[in-house]
Amino acid sequence: MVTVVLESFMKEPLFRLLPLLLLTALLCPVTQGKGFFPSENGKVIEIDGDLLGNLTARGESDDTRIVLFYASWCGHCANFASEYEMVAEVFSSVPSLSLFAIDCNKYREACRSAGVDRYPTLVGYRKGEKTDEDWDRQIRAANYVNEQLP
């Protein structure tokens, strides 16, 4: 009886996908933990909830810190991540500007505390306070300008 059921299952088109599904299941935990910015030497610094608290704490520095709040499951976030990384590369020589990213899927409470409930969201901080700038538009504009350069 079991052999008959197994033989009929093996004839199904879905059975042919089994090796691919197993491979995907094995690889997902490895890639999922790295976030969108896995490089330690990258220009975008991946942070956790504690570091977000330090970045948003009241300070005297006039440095601008831009934080990308994203979710690892969000397709729009994945598309925006490459633009964000490119802009970080372009502005890497500006010492008063730092770009960070936090995975709100991992650090939900920290993102909620920052008032973020949609992804992707860009928030700029200066002296621990949110800035009024529309960072999303500025990042996209800077990326566009960079693409137009020879």
Domain covering 44-148: architecture: 3-Layer(aba) Sandwich (3.40)
* pLDDT in the model for residue 62: 81
**Which of 20-34, 105-119, 130-144 is predicted with the least confidence, judged by mean pLDDT?**
20-34
Residue (of 46, 43, 37) closest to 93 by Cα position: 43
pTM: 0.68
Start-end of CATH 3.40.30.10 domains in the chain: 44-148
Stretch (H or E) spanning 110: helix 108-113
* Dist CA 103 CA 116 (whole Å): 12
Give percent of the chain above pLDDT 90: 25
